[in-house]
Homo-oligomer: A and B are copies of this chain.
């Protein structure tokens, strides 16, 4: 059986694992006050081109979203995001549990449009009763989105401009950032993101680490008392160095970039095979998630030898199916899947 369900089916990249094993019995202070963590923060600052940035490591994505959003919003504010945003759909109400509303925007293949953000804010303050409503206090985007799509540099610049004009922070969920940065044809770099977003996180869990997400804020004053908030959210890892060691490995010798590129290359190889076989796509993704429309009988046949996610019916006889590659996907498995098509 070959698996294309998701990008967190394996442990960590062998190089990450090697570093964890190598340092296993060393003794360091807890909570990220160790040299491995300090070094990893420096590597990330350098990769982001933001030597003054605040970097804080957390364990998982939902936790990171809830903690950052809670830190960025005042009590009367909510977070703008696409209807399909992970925070709106798949985080069990973690944002609302901190007291904040998710204010939804139309989504276009998982993305939001700067014009919609602008209009939302403009209409909000034009409404005479706006003080009775939840104020838009920040914008949440994901890159790649939950649907594998990417913002262009131009789109990102527009979102950033709109947010800065409205004086609200722009926050990017980068759970799969490594696959976005390595996407074919993307014109968005890590430095662009660090420059255009007020806060964002670099996903480790889905891109080579056992777990871990690196929150980056170019201007540290955006996240005052963040350490205490991380603790309050139960997101502070006692053995914080585990995060430092992992991100240290990922940001040494371009590992994060390389493994992102590996996953994307295999996803596009698969995509190409689907194209050649004449299958239609649910949407056009250049990253490690591919959404294809398959006849139900093809699906039945494939499921005998491969696992993947059923995304939803498309008419009577077809279903949208998601195939995901990762840093750990073996080319032979992709070839096997292609042979089955």
Contact = CB atoms under 8 A, between A and B. Distances in A.
Interface of A: 3, 5-6, 8-12, 14, 17, 20-21, 23-30, 59-67, 70-71, 74-76, 78, 89-94, 96-102, 129, 131-135, 205-206, 210-211, 224-225, 227-229, 231-239, 242, 328
Nearest to A235: B234
Contact of A17 (B8, B24, B78): B24
Contacts of A66: 234
B29 A239 contact: no
Contact of A25 (B11, B20, B63): B11
A99 to B, nearest CB: 5
A96 B4 CA distance: 37
Contact of A242 (B93, B101, B211, B225): B211
A28 to B, nearest CB: 6
A5 B21 contact: no
Contact of A27 (B9, B59, B225, B236): B9
Most chain B CB atoms below 10 A, which of A3, A96, A206, A236: A96
Given A11-B24, A239-B11, A239-B205, A232 B93 contact: yes
Contacts of A100: 93, 96
Nearest to A209: B239
Given A92-B134, A93-B101, A67 B30 contact: no
Nearest to A73: B75
Nearest to A227: B131
Contacts of A29: 5, 9
B27 A231 contact: no
A62 B234 contact: yes
Contact of A239 (B70, B94, B210): B210
Nearest to A27: B9
Contacts of A238: 8, 60-61, 205-206, 211
A231 B91 contact: yes
Nearest to A93: B134
A70 B92 CA distance: 15
B63 A234 contact: yes
Given A17-B21, A97-B75, A92 B133 contact: yes
Contact of A234 (B129, B134, B234, B242): B234
A224 B74 CA distance: 10
Contacts of A17: 20-21, 24
A100 B70 CA distance: 14
Contact of A11 (B23, B62, B67, B99): B23
A9 B30 contact: yes
A329 to B, nearest CB: 10
